[in-house]
Structure 1
Amino acid sequence: MDNVVASLSKKRRRDKLELQEPSANKDGGYENFDLISRLPDEILGSIISLLPTKEAARIPILSSRWRHLWRSAPLNLVIDYNLLLKRSWKERDCTAIISKILAAHPGPARHLSLRSICLHNNLYARFDGWFRSPALNGLEELDFYGRNSQSLVPPSVVRFVPTLRLASIGGCDLSRIDIAPTLLLPQLKQLKLYDIAISELALHRLLFGCTVLESLDLQSIHGIRIVRIVSLTLRSIVVYVHNQADMVELIIEYAPCLERLIQLGKEGPRTSRVIAAPKLAVLGYLTPRISEFELGTIIAKEIISISLTTSVRTVRILVLDSIGPNLDVVVGFLRYFPCIEKLYIQSHLRMGMKNVRQYDTLDPIECLELHLRAIVLKTYEGKRPDVNFAKFFVLNAKVLEVMKFGVCGNTCNEKWMANQHRRLQLDNKASRDAQFEFRRDYDSYSFQYNKHIHDMWVLDPFDRSLCKCCQLVS
């Protein structure tokens, strides 16, 4: 009995210390002052909901003040590959843990990510049961992947549509889900669909129901040849096509808020038409594999021949894939997008490309005179076609601030750079303040893969210098 009384007394003293007022010490500081624990439960719950699942579940051991908070905070359940590798877990371990967590937490839920567990036939019933769990009431973010584009999706997933703000769904067959014309997703702002099968009608209905959608990411969409987009709210569109049998044509009929259009992949879409996007500021990744690209009155065929009647002055960032690199083609784009501030070039060297072009001061290029401040050249080899291409900008870009060279191979040493300095005539640069940086190019495809491509707070989604995990050549 004495032991029980002593234990209770010790507990009361510990809890009192956690809640007592701060006491000043002789240095003017404070002792025993836990600012975080003094925050209201609602704020603490929000903080916990942002933590990884493992760390959030450990919160109760920090303080008795925190013991009830994990269950009262919105659930953040993420089962990812890093967790599997660290714990050497197998699929059956994960499914048991997920079921246990959903049974213990009363809800609501903020984030559910099951990317590392494939939705195959053996787990269909288990996924359906998880999606029906009360712990997932009010779910805001959903991320899961089936085994392939033939995997069926449990119909219970539809119950999340009133509250979802972010959805990433892959490896599934959405063509078998009844997407009614009246389906509404009133909170959804980001939607990513990858490696899925869906009909043109179903996709149209899905997008029509996303009344506040800002970011759309379509990657390897099967069963659909033409994608038509009409949206009053979309600000960012990314399209990735890997197979010629997939999406062939992208038509943006009306997108008054669209700021970014980024096309990735090896095969297209073969034809892209932007009919009305008056705020478009970021455009790429334009490659010779695109048979035809239309933006207003601009028509580009395989990024070789271009025709237009008027220019587009809204585009500030342009990403091009150029074989050669072809200086005449790139200069042509600069005339048609006269307000470009950042130019990214993924070059594919072709010997014999002369790139000898004199700048006609009687026919100035507005972009070079007033706007172009940054150029990034990837897969730069320092051979004659490369040098002549880059030298044109060194000698004629009058407001250039920085030019970055992503150098192929192991040639980027001091001797090689001194030789490039001479050949590029950097001492005769048109912009007095221009800086030139040579770096070994470890990632020749970093234009195509960027985790911040939809983050609208990043003005330039291709600028990797803003993120430590992305700092390669940017």
Structure 2
Amino acid sequence: MMIDFIVDTDKRIIDLELLISAHLLGFVYRFVSDCMLQYMEGTSGKTDSLESTEGRILEDESLDRFSSLPDNILNSILSYLPTKEAVRTSVLSNRWKYMWTGILVLDFDENCFCGKGENSRKREKMVGIVNRVLKLHFGHVERFKLVFYPGKFKSHISRCLQFLQTSGVQELDLDFRGESQEAYAGYGWYELPSCIYDLGSLLVLNLKNCTMGVPLEFKGLKSLKTLCLSDVYISGEQLSILVSKCEVLQNLTVHCCKDIENIKILGPHTQLQSLKIDGCCVTLGELEIDAPNLLSFDFTGWVSGSPMLNVPRLLKATITQSSKNSLDGQNEKWYLEMAMNLSKLVHVESLSLLGFFVKFLAKGEAIDQVPTNFLNLKKLALKVNMTKVSEVTTIARFLGCCHHLEEIVFWLDQHHPELTWQFWDAQVPPYCVVDYLKTVVIKNFSGLEDEEAFVRFLLMCAKELKKITVSCYESMRTERRMQTALEKLAKVERASQNVEMVIDFDSNQDLNGDKYLYDDSTDGLSEYDYGYDYDYDDDDHDYDYDAFEIEDYFSDQDMILNLFLH
């Protein structure tokens, strides 16, 4: 009987196979682990065959029922297990012996195989395991993940990646961790082989800790929709070539990449919908984005020139200016240009101006250049010092430009406090605050009088306010200043009769307000993440078989199994 399950939150239909996989994953994982213990404790080591243990293990009726499932269902379930645990299921019965060889997901994580710290013998063993698993695997691979410290094994890694050329891999996740230590030891960063650029089946590519050199003959990854580069050595020119030839690319993340002085996403790139650039250079010389269908833009850093943005359909923008030292190093013209650049974002629905952005707007007459027509803006996040006159004036002016604002988030910055200035008591409330504002979040509240005055202003003026959350430092819970401020706020006469005020004492406050990302999507989990996170570690049993002392008559299958029994 076929059953469709409809999830109301995102209107997606989840097929029966994946649903069974997700719900039974916990049982399978525990069951496999228990059977492995039975196998190891009930045999005499290497001499007992798989067949001699099959009858004993099958005494458990749950396994018999589980084994009756079709192969495609079992393969899907095994794909949710770590590869190491999926191979271990081969001990269960003859039917299960080679079941794992068709799994859709291959996950080789050095942390799982070798533990923490450098261990040359375990790393050699892991290389042997990977080689044998790839030799026995058949069929296509949907997802391939490798987290490994290459060192002297770079040639093995290249052969491993060549396997992917015929596998039809759709999602590739490579993290060559520890490369900074390797470079110091003389091995250098791992440079991706040219075969990576020929994987035409790729939909998702995540790269970390490596060097990219796009070949001259590169024709593009025609199916690639998501590209994430983190701690990757790649020049701005090479990045532009790479992106321009990925014609259906929808999501691009460039995080802490080295050797990038300029970023230019040109074309126009009509398919790009999400772009995140984070900490790639102390100062970018140029930033040009030509993406007419871009919906989300997240930038952290500093641009010395004037950014050129063609993003007419942008809905969400997060701009974090990260260079405090450059505040006093720019002339008045630069601040004016930066404020005028906000005109390219007037159509957004969600805007976050974090880091030192408000401090820049508060310089000189920059605020006068800010557009006055943010007609679509519904969500706003700002970092501001409520005790600094220039910044308070700036945000008051900015609120007046947001006509239909429904949600605001403020990170309060208490640096350089000035004398108490009761600005908000005399301030005429903006139209959006009175008639539209519904949700307020105040972060890093410390009980200063000016902070209290701002919260009081919102409570007294916002007629449609539903909820206001005041987050405070846990360490200030018992301070008299904080208690006094909260007592005063509790007694304020509120314009909205339905407003709920929540006081949240949190020891993990975000001191910098460097990020506030609105996530309106309902598909936040990746395709392979259904909320399960299993990390099996059997501390009570130490199965110490030397992989290189196994008898020659063992097949590759038996050798891999014994390699995993540790």
TM-score (norm 2): 0.65
3-state secondary structure, aligned to 2:375 = coil
3-state secondary structure, aligned to 2:413 = strand
The answer to whether residue 171 in structure 2 is matched with residue 141 in structure 1 is: yes
CA displacement 1:439-474 (0-9 Å, x = unmatched): 224142696579x98894369xxxxxxx999xxxxx
Partners in 2 of 1:271 and 1:432 — Cα distance?
49
Partners in 1 of 2:83 and 2:103 — Cα distance?
12
The structure-2 alpha-carbon separation of the partners of 1:92 and 1:190, relative to structure 1 and needing over 3 Å to count, comes to same
Alignment of 1:126-205 (within 5 A): 126-133=156-163, 137-146=167-176, 147-148=179-180, 151-158=189-196, 161-174=199-212, 176-178=213-215, 180=217, 183-205=219-241
The structure-2 alpha-carbon separation of the partners of 1:298 and 1:282, relative to structure 1 and needing over 3 Å to count, comes to closer
Partner of 1:313: 375
**Match for residue 261 of structure 1 among 297, 316, 319:** 297
Report if aligned partners of 2:448, 2:481 keep a CA contact under 8 Å in 1. no
**Match for residue 356 of structure 1 among 423, 432, 442:** 423
Partners in 2 of 1:80 and 1:399 — Cα distance?
53
**Match for residue 224 of structure 1 among 244, 255, 260:** 260
Partners in 2 of 1:232 and 1:260 — Cα distance?
14
Report if aligned partners of 2:105, 2:142 keep a CA contact under 8 Å in 1. yes
Partner of 2:353: none
3-state secondary structure, aligned to 2:72 = helix
Partners in 1 of 2:279 and 2:233 — Cα distance?
13
CA displacement 1:80-119 (0-9 Å, x = unmatched): 536643799653343333223223323422323333x234
Partners in 1 of 2:190 and 2:263 — Cα distance?
22
Structure that is richer in strand per residue = 1
Report if aligned partners of 1:328, 1:355 keep a CA contact under 8 Å in 2. no
Partners in 2 of 1:183 and 1:355 — Cα distance?
62
Partner of 1:21: none
CA RMSD in angstroms comes to 4.0
3-state secondary structure, aligned to 2:175 = strand
Partner of 1:347: 412
CA deviation after TM superposition for structure 1 residue 127, in Å = 1.4
The answer to whether residue 306 in structure 2 is matched with residue 276 in structure 1 is: no
Report if aligned partners of 1:273, 1:295 keep a CA contact under 8 Å in 2. no
The structure-2 alpha-carbon separation of the partners of 1:438 and 1:11, relative to structure 1 and needing over 3 Å to count, comes to closer
Report if aligned partners of 1:275, 1:295 keep a CA contact under 8 Å in 2. no
The answer to whether residue 70 in structure 2 is matched with residue 40 in structure 1 is: yes
Partner of 1:28: none
Report if aligned partners of 1:349, 1:385 keep a CA contact under 8 Å in 2. no
Q: Percent identity?
A: 20
Partner of 1:333: 398
1:155 partner amino acid: P
3-state secondary structure, aligned to 1:427 = coil
Report if aligned partners of 1:152, 1:172 keep a CA contact under 8 Å in 2. yes
Report if aligned partners of 2:108, 2:145 keep a CA contact under 8 Å in 1. yes
Report if aligned partners of 1:198, 1:223 keep a CA contact under 8 Å in 2. yes
Partners in 2 of 1:393 and 1:441 — Cα distance?
25
How many pairs does the alignment contain? 431
Report if aligned partners of 2:51, 2:93 keep a CA contact under 8 Å in 1. no
1:344 partner amino acid: V
Report if aligned partners of 1:298, 1:310 keep a CA contact under 8 Å in 2. no
Partner of 1:389: 454
Report if aligned partners of 1:378, 1:406 keep a CA contact under 8 Å in 2. yes
The answer to whether residue 102 in structure 2 is matched with residue 72 in structure 1 is: yes
Structure 1 gaps of 5+ residues are 1-6, 19-30, 460-466, 470-474
2:282 partner amino acid: Q
The structure-2 alpha-carbon separation of the partners of 1:17 and 1:192, relative to structure 1 and needing over 3 Å to count, comes to closer
The structure-2 alpha-carbon separation of the partners of 1:414 and 1:128, relative to structure 1 and needing over 3 Å to count, comes to same
The structure-2 alpha-carbon separation of the partners of 1:449 and 1:191, relative to structure 1 and needing over 3 Å to count, comes to farther
Partners in 2 of 1:296 and 1:134 — Cα distance?
46
Alignment of 1:425-436 (within 5 A): 427-435=492-500, 436=502
Partner of 1:23: none
1:421 partner amino acid: L
3-state secondary structure, aligned to 1:171 = strand
1:356 partner amino acid: F
Structure 2 gaps of 5+ residues are 1-49, 325-334, 347-356, 525-530, 534-566
**Match for residue 97 of structure 1 among 129, 136, 141:** 129
The structure-2 alpha-carbon separation of the partners of 1:458 and 1:233, relative to structure 1 and needing over 3 Å to count, comes to same
Partners in 2 of 1:209 and 1:276 — Cα distance?
19
Partners in 2 of 1:449 and 1:297 — Cα distance?
21
CA displacement 1:167-212 (0-9 Å, x = unmatched): 12122232x33154x6222332221112223233321121122223
The answer to whether residue 248 in structure 2 is matched with residue 212 in structure 1 is: yes
CA displacement 1:104-146 (0-9 Å, x = unmatched): 323422323333x2344x2321211111126972222222234
Partner of 1:24: none
The structure-2 alpha-carbon separation of the partners of 1:359 and 1:196, relative to structure 1 and needing over 3 Å to count, comes to same
Report if aligned partners of 2:51, 2:94 keep a CA contact under 8 Å in 1. no
CA displacement 1:142-168 (0-9 Å, x = unmatched): 222342596242324425531222212
Partners in 1 of 2:479 and 2:92 — Cα distance?
54
CA deviation after TM superposition for structure 1 residue 71, in Å = 0.8
Higher relative contact order (CA 8 A, sep 6+): 2
**Match for residue 342 of structure 2 among 287, 295, 303:** 295
Report if aligned partners of 2:320, 2:514 keep a CA contact under 8 Å in 1. no
Partners in 1 of 2:86 and 2:513 — Cα distance?
35
Stretch moving more, 301-310 or 206-215: 301-310
2:161 partner amino acid: F
Partners in 1 of 2:112 and 2:52 — Cα distance?
43
3-state secondary structure, aligned to 2:400 = helix
Partners in 2 of 1:129 and 1:169 — Cα distance?
17
Partner of 1:472: none
Partners in 2 of 1:112 and 1:449 — Cα distance?
30
Stretch moving more, 67-76 or 56-65: 56-65
Report if aligned partners of 1:288, 1:322 keep a CA contact under 8 Å in 2. no
Partner of 1:58: 88
**Match for residue 400 of structure 1 among 445, 465, 470:** 465
The structure-2 alpha-carbon separation of the partners of 1:134 and 1:248, relative to structure 1 and needing over 3 Å to count, comes to closer
3-state secondary structure, aligned to 1:172 = strand
The structure-2 alpha-carbon separation of the partners of 1:88 and 1:155, relative to structure 1 and needing over 3 Å to count, comes to closer
The structure-2 alpha-carbon separation of the partners of 1:410 and 1:16, relative to structure 1 and needing over 3 Å to count, comes to closer
CA deviation after TM superposition for structure 1 residue 310, in Å = 4.9
3-state secondary structure, aligned to 2:230 = strand
CA deviation after TM superposition for structure 1 residue 438, in Å = 2.0
TM-score (norm 1): 0.76
